Amino acid sequence: MNTLILALRILLGVMLVVFGSNKFFEFMPAFEFANPDAGIFFGALANSYVLKVVGIIEVIVGLLLLTNKAIPFALVVLAPISVNIILFHATLDPANIGPGALVFLINAFLIFKYWDKYKTLF
């Protein structure tokens, strides 16, 4: 089980660093949305500060996961972002929900595995 947790933590960390960095350096091709409304909404986010802040958070959380530092904190910080990724794709772009669903599911699984660290919060 520890190997699975390690593999998922590293996979999630790499995904976050890559996708977070892409919000600044745009080294991946532009995303094609099936729904024009999704493109309009995403364009509005891209033209504001929102995606830059999300990108910074993704890179920081990804680096924390990759360096095995403050994992429970990193997972909690990532939770609202992963929920919003799922909600965006579920409502506006269901055809491209795969990568977002993977981030959400890994985040939820790792929170579950680190649940003992969160007991004092509840």
The answer on pLDDT for 101 being more than 90 is yes
Does 1 score more than 90 pLDDT? no
Phi first, then psi: what are they for 97, rounded to 5°? -80, -15
Q: What is the pLDDT of residues 42-77, one digit of tens each?
A: 999 999 999 999 999 999 999 999 999 999 999 999
Share of the chain above pLDDT 70, in %: 100
pLDDT tops 90 at residue 32: no
CB 52 within 8 A of CB 24: yes
Structural domain span for residue 102:
2-121
CA 119 to CA 122: how far, in whole Å?
5
Position 121 confidence tier, pLDDT thresholds 50, 70, 90: confident
pLDDT on residue 16: 98
| Statement: residue 104 has pLDDT above 90 | yes
Domain count, the chain: 1
Average pLDDT, the chain: 96
CA–CA separation, 1 and 34 (whole Å): 38
CA distance 118 to 49: 31
